[in-house]
Structure 1
Amino acid sequence: MSIKRSLLSVPFRFCNMALIFFLLIGINAFAADPEVSDSDEAVKAGESLFNANCKTCHKLDQKFTGPALRGVSDRRDIAWIQSFVKNSQKVIQSGDPTATALFAEFNNTVMPAHQFLSDDDVMNLLSYIEFGGKEEAAATPAEGAAGAATATGGVPSEYLTIILAVLVVVLLLILIVLGLIVSVLTKYLNKQPLEEDDKEFINQKTDLKKVFRSDAFIIIITAIVIALVAKTAIDGLFSVGVQQGYQPTQPIAFSHKLHAGDKEIPCQYCHTGVEIGRSANIPSPNICMNCHMHIQNVEGKEGVSTEIQKIYDAIDNDQPIEWVRVHNLPDLAYFNHSQHVKVGQIECQTCHGPIEEMEVVGQHSALTMGWCIDCHRKTDIQTAGNEYYDKLVQLHAESKSKDALKVKDIGGLECAKCHY
């Protein structure tokens, strides 16, 4: 190739390089992260997604089970966020240093996969994270604690009764003190040289008719009536769904006092599911027949007793015994017997009361949300011999807490533990 031709080719090479350079810039421009929308529609859609999928473990402006989320679109690429939200374990297993560091920082807590979310869903989620939830950021810890206390327990009925009683007592004391003051002043003024009009005014008698017709008396009586009606209404609201003391008559007069108390039969013998499943389950007639095939009557009497005969009839007719359910939680609450009895080592009497003393079973405890939460606040975790809790015990010890590890320390106060 001649020198002249080589020199002529330089401008073309330069043009080609410039074209490639501008193409790369254009590609990068088109590949840039999409902007997070601050529109009300996107924020509202993102809030629904956040509450349904993220709220249990994340807060916007403070660390929780997972990291604080606000500002994540500035710290991470959108594509990375979308991949991590949809399947965090896949990103971690790929060796991504950021994902691996996050996983280690939060004690290798596995974040559930959300592969059902589209890229648009993630963008809406980011809209809420960046531009929504401002009231959460403004709330103080004290306000949050107060809100939690209100949500979990409310004001017990007996407290309202005490408050009303105290107000009535205070009102009576004020009236007595005012009466004494008036009496002392009247005696004192009567000893002073006064004009007749003044003496007449001081010694005037109280007209009860005028008192009862006065605006002040009517307002006081109206306020008392409203307070009593309000208290009655609040008591009624607090009792909705509470069946404490419910003791129905059963189709067979089964005595827990005889079986669980006198004969010391373990609860688990009849309620076979209590250690292996969610429900304790009602015993079938077959379980009854393990004993009553041989025990046909009460000691000292002959023939098959009426109540035991009902078991035989149920088996002969292939019909279940229609026991009346006593303890019945609402469908919106999840409770697992095995989690409490087998893992938590909670005695049956903790919830069901002295069942071994009951001729007829009744609901001993309130079984309300406040009752459960109070138990979670007070109950120690049985960690001995259970390796699952080793890391949690270590973290609790590092927090320098003087209390033993309790249910509340492992998520026992989180709404989603019982409602999901």
Structure 2
Amino acid sequence: MKELIKHWLDKINDEVIEMRRHLHRNPELSYKEFETASYIKRKLKEYRIPYHSEIAGTGVLGIIKGNQGGGVVALRADMDALPIQEENDFPYVSTKENIMHACGHDAHMAMLLGAGFILQQLREHITGTVLLVFQPAEEKSPVGGAKPMLEAGVFKEYKPDVIYGQHVWPQLPVGKLGIRDTEMMGSSDSFKITLKGRGGHASMPHLTNDPIVTAAHLITSLQTIVSRGLDPLEASVLTIGKIKGGTAKNIITNKVVLEGSIRTYNLKIRKRLKERFFEITNHVAEMYNNVVEIEYIDGYPATINTPKWAHLARKTAQSLFGQDATPEVMPSLASEDFSRFLEEILGAFILLGTRIENSNEQRGLHDPQFTINEEALLKGTAFLSKVAIDALEELKKTQK
């Protein structure tokens, strides 16, 4: 099977690179991936892969049925770009102002299309069904695109036994894959706090209830949730990322707005963080005679792999790229919409090494100069193809 995959990979490799570049040139924001979806459908039709489209707006589901019955494995790629002005200078930079594939979703789609082509050629060897899930709006937390696709019945006809997702990862070199048995990424909740006091002249603070002072104490107090209220061995973080208040240096404002996010892996810790957040915010506001309004949004849950299917993915990667292909990686507190699929379906989320040759020039995800080493596209396409086949073979054993 490894040789068969390599045979068809050689035929599609250049096209996978071109597909990635085409998608990079033509990025679209969340819920607006219309041209992207049309391109995907054209490619699926070209590869003679049946599909359903317009799922939750722009989502597409490719269906590859093997010539032998068996289980169902889903492979997922996200479709949307980010509102970022690209600052690269290669020939295939974004043609859309202030829109860029700065998170590698162009590569995800290209690799999934490439894997779809390979699996379609090998369908007589496939014991089951492979679903190609092209998901919109991954970047649009907290709603995202996974939950709307599930609610729209994306898996009504074929319910996956296993699902895999793959994400480019600039911290890892090409040929390496990050695979953990449990936590991969964190949950991500967001909040907006509005503190309302009494404004006035800077020379007469005694006649005011200064919300800027309240905000300063609140920021410090909120940090004690993680530093003093939680187990230090449990990863979590609370960040105030935006503060808005005041109009002039000699005016005490009557309103301050703070916005931020809270991230962790553990469901119990997530619940406790939220409880303490409300307690501290309300008490500090009351202490300084401010009125407080809190908007708290429960975002993506933590991305937690299923140990069995993470282990299978590790074996797949090692069979393709060698025993040292899966170095130990730490989980990330970045969040991922794929977590919504993993809440309902067993599976795993994989990090694909895409570091460019001059690592000093490597930019991180969401950077205006982010790019990938395109040699990784070959690795990712091969991995998706084989992990689908390996998972179906494992399902065949367990379903006997």
Give the alignment's TM-score, normalised by structure 2.
0.21
Q: Select the structure that is richer in helix.
A: 1
Give the alignment's TM-score, normalised by structure 1.
0.21
Q: Which has the higher contact order (CA 8 A, sep 6+)?
A: 2
Q: Select the structure that is richer in strand.
A: 2
